[in-house]
A and B are shown apart, each in its own frame.
Chain A
């Protein structure tokens, strides 16, 4: 793990970014994309799950960019650890395809968004800034999958979606872009993004409630 000294950038607090990525080329590319971006700063990097754990334990980042396929473990455990220890930090999954199943698992573990490995650098930077501003990315397939994960009859401890969140999800699942959603629902694009992030948070909460429920029904907890 490498840790760099955090400095204060001109014009306000910089977004401190930690990277967990085992592919050196990818890690270099990410660092290369972030370095020139104003207000974005890489504060720590790790290339294995073990290093990633130490990175998460040390904290001090605003955004954790995490690859899933690490040579010595699963990125999802890191995401969960980060979400628990640093709820104020945003975790973004670095993924090749953003396949809905993997992404949903990450969201349930506490991720708030994802970066595609083939993204244009500008898009990549925009996505990181967006997630810090409170907006999360989403694809129709992921929206559809989230809808399926929300139980129609919530159990104890479940966070329920608001009607507006449900409307947003329904439209996104039908292929409308965030912008179109915003126009059709009379919202701003940022608000749509905020709704998506809030939905992700609820999904994580429900995932934890489910784990508790599972544990209590198996007699692990009282």
Chain B
């Protein structure tokens, strides 16, 4: 496969999408100039509805995880008060707004003691707020010139999950694009990607259920899609559809099964050897890890080890797939393994920007909701490619079938033509037989009997000669009826054989000067008769007029004007003649020339007194001119 072959259009498209996504993320994460970022605030843990009078400590922001505090208190849900002060001079010209993200889980915002916003409806409203960016326009009347106080009362929704993320203050116009970007990437994009995943998953599942039960990889992919979808809902659901704790737990648990399901799908797709054993291993590891994670969390630990195991398992499973024997579509394999490696990279990215680690802010949002979309899109690319290839195969098969049909048709036509030829040959043969019988029983028999009688009764030599010539003529006709497949040497030889007694009687020495000659395919009975009569005439002339001692029959292949052919020449060493001067010979020559012309041969006669005569006729192998 060529280098270009590794990058067919689906891969190029996919790489393009990835690039666009990365660029988009980079743009989304570009926060320089996005208002006044609160870098430090005072914190006090208190369940009361009013800010506590004491217990405030200063802590750095953004992304402050208060899980440690929560755990220390062994309290299911805790509330923290966050107080930040700012000066109007820092904000620029209004109207102004408050922007927050990554605040888990809900909060009420007060500006200078006045409530300006709350993210939830009532006391029992368990909104999912951790991923949702919030833009709160600040009423101008609540703002004061000079120092202002921003106060947030932040509630955890799940056990011990309490985070205070990014808090910004700036003119509304400045924060609006940031809010829009973050809403798009964190919520809307995730939502769209996840619903597409759900649709593709449904298609895959139905495809497997209805048509392709023999392809378990489809079931694996559907299961993977479902797991990703369930996992992805926490990114864009505003509220849990059922108990928030259970919902959060379910979403969290899915993480541990993404690797086993992903491996199950790719392993099945490429029929990786021993995949059943690997599947058992990954599922066992995933389940153990999930249980460990729940237990560790319940015991008040963070369970980072579980996350590490998830990533390690993913890396090892990709390694197993890479090392497995390569079979089938290399492009599909490269693409799917690249996607799997990318999901692993996404896992590392997302882990690094978690509030309790804060290795980096990365793209500014979690990329995980886009994983399943990438996997399914890649899979459908692969399937589409396979489909296109199948269509091409069918097309090429059709073409080859058409070719074979055409060949068979041509064969049939050829055999039909051969059959017709055979029929014609048979008809000719039967006609020949009939003629031969007629000649034998009729005129031939009478002539021969007449000859015998004439000889017996000692008729004049002229009579006997005439009868003999008549019989010789008849023999020529009979011979022409079987043109010996255009074998010109045999035809000529037969003629000589017939003439042998006469030539012997005339005391003529025959020289037979022949070479190997090609068959003259067109020399059928009619043409052969013309040719034989022509030669007969030449021999008869030599016998009658030349007083020659030697008669040379020459026959050899000769190419004329690029056309292969055979030259037949009858040369005597007799007295020769002046053309047009000899009475009678002129007519004979004209007849011979006419016979040659009739059959498409070339006739020539050369003679000079005392120099003998040469009659030659050239027959082309193929009568059609090029």
Contact = CB atoms under 8 A, between A and B. Distances in A.
Interface of A: 23, 25-26, 28-29, 32, 69, 96-97, 99-101, 117-121, 123, 139-141, 143-144, 172-177, 180
Contact of B493 (A23, A28, A96, A176): A176
B394 interface: no
B476 to A, nearest CB: 10
B39 to A, nearest CB: 104
A140 B497 contact: yes
A159 B476 CA distance: 34
B493 A25 contact: no
A97 B478 contact: yes
Given A99-B482, A175-B492, A117 B512 contact: no
A175 B489 contact: yes
A140 to B, nearest CB: 3
Interface string B498-520: 00110000000010101000000
Given A97-B478, A123-B501, A118 B448 contact: yes
Nearest to A174: B489
Contacts of B452: 25-26, 28-29, 117
A206 B412 CA distance: 36
A144 B487 contact: yes
A144 to B, nearest CB: 5
Nearest to A27: B452
Q: Which 10 A-B pairs rank lowest in CB-CB distance, beginning with the nearest?
A: A175-B493, A140-B493, A29-B452, A117-B448, A25-B449, A139-B497, A144-B490, A118-B471, A97-B478, A174-B489
B494 A139 contact: yes
Contacts of A23: 445, 449
A176 B490 contact: no
Q: Interface centre among A25, A101, A123, A180, by most B CB within 10 Å? A: A25
B468 interface: yes
B512 A180 contact: yes
19 contacts: A26-B449, A28-B452, A29-B452, A96-B445, A96-B448, A97-B474, A99-B478, A99-B482, A118-B448, A140-B489, A140-B493, A141-B484, A141-B491, A144-B487, A175-B489, A175-B496, A175-B512, A177-B496, A177-B500
A23 B449 CA distance: 9
Nearest to B516: A174
Nearest to B492: A175
Contacts of A180: 512
B490 A99 contact: no
Contacts of A99: 436, 478-479, 482
Contacts of B500: 177
Contacts of B501: 119-120, 123
Contacts of B456: 28-29, 32
Contacts of B453: 25, 29
A175 B552 CA distance: 13
B553 interface: yes
Nearest to A100: B482
A205 B456 CA distance: 40
B85 interface: no
Given A25-B449, A141-B490, A175-B514, A96 B440 contact: yes
Contact of A141 (B440, B468, B494): B494
Contacts of B271: none
Contacts of B490: 140-141, 143-144, 173-175
B491 to A, nearest CB: 8
B266 to A, nearest CB: 62
B455 interface: yes
A25 B478 CA distance: 23
B444 interface: yes
A100 B432 CA distance: 13
Contact of B494 (A117, A118, A120, A140): A140
Contacts of A69: 440-441
A101 B432 CA distance: 12
Contacts of A140: 489-490, 493-494, 496-497
A29 B455 contact: yes
A96 B497 CA distance: 15
B451 interface: yes
